[in-house]
Amino acid sequence: MSATLKDIAALTGLSVTQVSRALNDHDDVSAETKQRARDAAKALDYRPNLSARRLASGRSGIVGLVLPPQDRTPRDSMFVQMMRGLSSAFSRHGRLFVLHAADEGEDVVAVHRRLIDGGSLDGFVLIEPEHDDPRVAYLQGRGVPLVMHGRDGPAPDYPFYDIDNLAVGRALTQMLLRAGHRRIGFINGREDMCYVAQRRLGWERALREAGVEPDPALHEHGQMTESLGALATLRLMGPEGARPSALIAGNMLIAKGIYTALSMLGLKVPQDVSVVVHDDMLPGEDLLAVPPSSGTRSALAQSWEPLAAALIGAIEGRALPKTQHLGDFEIVEAGSIAPPS
Amino acid sequence: MSATLKDIAALTGLSVTQVSRALNDHDDVSAETKQRARDAAKALDYRPNLSARRLASGRSGIVGLVLPPQDRTPRDSMFVQMMRGLSSAFSRHGRLFVLHAADEGEDVVAVHRRLIDGGSLDGFVLIEPEHDDPRVAYLQGRGVPLVMHGRDGPAPDYPFYDIDNLAVGRALTQMLLRAGHRRIGFINGREDMCYVAQRRLGWERALREAGVEPDPALHEHGQMTESLGALATLRLMGPEGARPSALIAGNMLIAKGIYTALSMLGLKVPQDVSVVVHDDMLPGEDLLAVPPSSGTRSALAQSWEPLAAALIGAIEGRALPKTQHLGDFEIVEAGSIAPPS
DNA sequence: AGGGTTGCCCGAAGCGTTTCGGATTGGCAA
DNA sequence: TTGCCAATCCGAAACGCTTCGGGCAACCCT
């Protein structure tokens, strides 16, 4: 089997204790000893036994993410991206990142609990925050480190990485306002998602700032799928007079549905209807399927490193200067906006 | 913290040893004692510490899958399906299934090695077998249990779940032969994938059985993407005379590309060109994007349970009656075949 | 009655690591 | 010289679990 501390101790003539401390870079080990231990470790190709470490120290070096059950996630490729990004960020920090898919019937909190009790995981990356998220309550209650991808409320009491979704909603709306639109529809994501509420708020605020009272009938929401985009568009475009002259899509899938529905209705973008869309920039995703659209874009990939750093900091009990991060987004013009007809 | 064996021992008046044996259902514990231990465990909400267990027994109860690096996997949703399926299958067996994405630069074998040495994982589910797969060699060399989704060669020496890809290739070809086609193009997956070779073999065999010598120029292969489907179609359909009158698509994405390219060329399915396609049936995947196509379908979901059972059997050193499974596929007729014009 | 078998149980060792407390130096000030 | 401090080191205990080897009845067989 693999070499153990004992082997290194035997080879170097040190004690197991000192080797352990040397390899973990404690401060009461001489520089020379540290080097000797490290050399021997390399020579023997030593790999610490994580189970033993965990048992003794309470930490295993493994962190994880629990994929929420059900297929609430129509964008599988985003998860794979996320997996990859987080895996590599954590492995740069010498940690192992691992993913577990919760079972359909299972309670998400119970899954986290199993993982902690089993003693395998040191901390969690959470995604898709809900309002008063029960996972957060549970983990905080047990003192288990966590970081959130997204956030609940403007300033939660945990580390997170998020973009300013209110600003996104506002920016999208303003792009259309500037072109002269006043009736602006918004096809948004699931109502219980925090970012969805934020974006809606941004939409409302931008409208009010322009002296337009937001019409709740123009806000549609649901699972972010192509069919939501199509159905919501048909609904919004139904009554001729009340029709919005522009649409905001919560993401590319929705946008795709919008384009499909509009072309069914014989409406052209941007001549008849302007369209803007927000999305993460996913390298390699086949967005060519939807016509180029103006709107906002955020770079998901920026989040992995800060999330990893924050979680590791929390696990090691180090106070980090900054654990709450706001990523930025950029505005792209791609010709899907025109003045209202 | 969580309750330990010692707590249960104290509560029941048994020894720690006996409690451990009772809960693990050893056979030298009386039925009554077992029950008493189980009751106490439930009452105290006992969760075994996996690290301790692993340390003592060499087994952690965690199995994993390493996602190959790079984006060799255009079909992310398939992986998510797989994750979900395997997670739930293993958790039914009281095991924890976990996924780790290999880093871009990283050697896949090295990743497995890290996971074993760390002492965290008991065994692996492998996917996407290559010829003489180095992962298999390494794991077998170290005596680490594995199961394969797919297989290398007709009868490898490890547990696997696969479908008969030769038969799939043959069935697809025969569907077209029966309609009278003789020049049948095949747009297949990456050449180094085992199943790709098998399907090609099936195609060749079916043709020979019908007295047609397979034309290597009619076999295209590459990453299974929409653009491969489109480009390969354009290539195959280039020289007017040598054109195939029917096409086989390795999966739905390829088929989609085929449909796109054919419509660009002004060719209609099935009047001008017949198309058949094989794919896994992925619930919820948006296959509506491609017109309904005849061909073969296999149910990926059938594989999780056998894979899980086989891996657990291997870990526990039990000899299972059956560890190599061949799933079946069905043939669907959906109107994309017509006699050659 | 003696010897063997069976059923049930327990003590203690050990898995590989961390960590607590103490031990051993040498140097330096008093 | 004595006392004290910093710098290094080490032994032993502990983490929670499994397992090896043995013990003690109660039973059956001859």
pLDDT in tens, A166-185: 999 999 999 999 999 999 99
Residue A336 lies in a domain: no
Residue B200 and residue B322 in one domain: no
Residue B231 lies in a domain: yes
**Nucleotide closest in space to A2 (CA vs C1'):** C16
Count of structural domains, chain A: 3
Residue A176 and residue A292 in one domain: yes
DSSP letter at B130 equals: B
When mean pLDDT is compared across A228-237, A274-283, A292-301, B326-335, the lowest value belongs to A274-283
Contact criterion met (CB < 8 Å) for B49 and A119: yes
Q: What average pLDDT does the segment B37-52 reach?
A: 91
Residue A97 confidence class, pLDDT cut points 50, 70, 90 = confident
List, in sequence order, the alpha helices (H) in chain A. Answer: 5-12, 16-23, 31-44, 50-57, 76-92, 108-117, 134-142, 165-178, 194-209, 226-236, 252-264, 304-315
More confident residue, B103 or A284: B103
Distance from CA of A326 to the nearest CA of B (A): 26
Residue A307 and residue A159 in one domain: yes
Q: What average pLDDT does the segment A283-300 reach?
A: 76
Residue B281 and residue B310 in one domain: no
Task: List CB contacts (< 8 A) between B82 and chain A.
Answer: none
Token pair belonging to A242: 């009340």
Contact indicator for A249, A319 with CB cutoff of 8 Å? no
Residue B21 and residue B33 in one domain: yes
Contact indicator for A251, A189 with CB cutoff of 8 Å? yes
Q: Is pLDDT above 80 for A72?
A: no
Residue A187 and residue A290 in one domain: yes
Q: Is pLDDT above 70 for A51?
A: yes
Contact indicator for B57, B48 with CB cutoff of 8 Å? no
Residue B296 and residue B169 in one domain: yes
Determine the 3-state secondary structure of A113 from DSSP. Answer: helix
Q: What average pLDDT does the segment A271-281 reach?
A: 93
Q: What average pLDDT does the segment A36-54 reach?
A: 91
* CB-neighbour burial class of residue A157 (10 A; exposed 0-12, middle 13-18, buried 19+): exposed
| Domain of B11, in residue numbers | 5-48
Residue A55 lies in a domain: no
Residue B286 lies in a domain: yes
Residue B42 and residue B118 in one domain: no
Residue A57 lies in a domain: no
Q: Is pLDDT above 60 for B40?
A: yes
Residue A56 lies in a domain: no
Chain D nucleotides with an atom closer than 7 Å to a protein C-beta = 7-12, 14-20
More confident residue, B316 or A243: A243
Token pair belonging to A231: 């159905």
Edge-to-edge strands of the sheet including B219-221? B219-221, B184-188, B246-249, B274-280, B294-298, B329-332
Residue A274 and residue A313 in one domain: no
Q: Tally C-beta pairs within 8 A across A and B.
A: 126
CA A215/CA A193 separation, integer angstroms: 21
Residue B241 lies in a domain: yes
Residue B210 and residue B236 in one domain: yes
Q: What average pLDDT does the segment A262-283 reach?
A: 90
Residue A332 lies in a domain: no
Closest CA to B250 of B278, B227, B216: B278
Strand D proximal residues, B:39-78, Cβ < 7 Å = 46, 48-49, 52-53, 55-57
Residue B171 and residue B296 in one domain: yes
Q: What average pLDDT does the segment B216-240 reach?
A: 91
Q: CATH number of the domain that B266 lies in?
A: 3.40.50.2300
CA B105/CA A144 separation, integer angstroms: 32
Residue B138 and residue B202 in one domain: no
Determine the 3-state secondary structure of B119 from DSSP. Answer: coil
- HSE (CB half, 13 Å, CA atoms) of B79? 29
Edge-to-edge strands of the sheet including A96-101? A324-327, A160-163, A146-149, A123-127, A62-67, A96-101, B96-101, B62-67, B123-127, B146-149, B160-163, B324-327
pLDDT of residue A113: 86
Task: List CB contacts (< 8 A) between A115 and chain B.
Answer: 96
* Mean pLDDT for chain A overall: 89
Residue A284 confidence class, pLDDT cut points 50, 70, 90 = low
Residue A119 confidence class, pLDDT cut points 50, 70, 90 = confident
Q: What average pLDDT does the segment A18-47 reach?
A: 92
pLDDT of residue B206: 98
Contact criterion met (CB < 8 Å) for B51 and A96: no
Contact indicator for A172, A203 with CB cutoff of 8 Å? yes
pLDDT of residue A294: 94
Q: Is pLDDT above 70 for A71?
A: no
For the segment B118-167, what is each residue's pLDDT rounded down to a tens digit? Answer: 777 889 999 988 889 999 999 999 889 999 999 998 889 999 999 999 99
pLDDT of residue A95: 83
- Partners of B146 in the beta sheet? B124
Q: What average pLDDT does the segment A139-163 reach?
A: 92
Residue B286 confidence class, pLDDT cut points 50, 70, 90 = low
Q: CATH number of the domain that A11 lies in?
A: 1.10.260
Contact criterion met (CB < 8 Å) for B115 and A96: yes
Angle at Cα A132 formed by Cα A126 and Cα A137, nearest 5°? 65
pLDDT of residue B219: 97
